[in-house]
Amino acid sequence: MIVRLPHSHSLDQDEGRARARVFGEEANGLYPGRSWSEVEPQMADEWRQVRGESRLRWSEVRRDAHAAWQVAKLVHDDCLRDHAPVMAGRSGA
């Protein structure tokens, strides 16, 4: 099977979004034990330094960074596994 992805974004947008995802994943490890709401303002300030050539503003990539942050947190907390579902809010699971 061949999956064809639409090319609806320019290369700049793709690169900027990819950088934001890496930034979100790395930030999870750089700020252990801190919540997204605590770290996000600092990340917004740092975005200008890590965005490279991308012209995307933080408001345009924030969701990408947050999604990567959440996945990294699930991996870190050993909750992201192929063999077991993620059960939010269940104790004793």
| Mean pLDDT along residues 78-88 | 64
Q: What single-letter amino acid sits at 29?
A: G
Give pLDDT tens digits for 25-48.
999 889 888 999 999 999 999 999
* Among 42, 14, 44, 17, residue whose Cα is nearest residue 30: 42
Report pTM.
Answer: 0.72
Q: CA–CA separation, 61 vs 20, rounded Å? A: 6
Q: Write down the domain spans for the chain.
A: 11-76
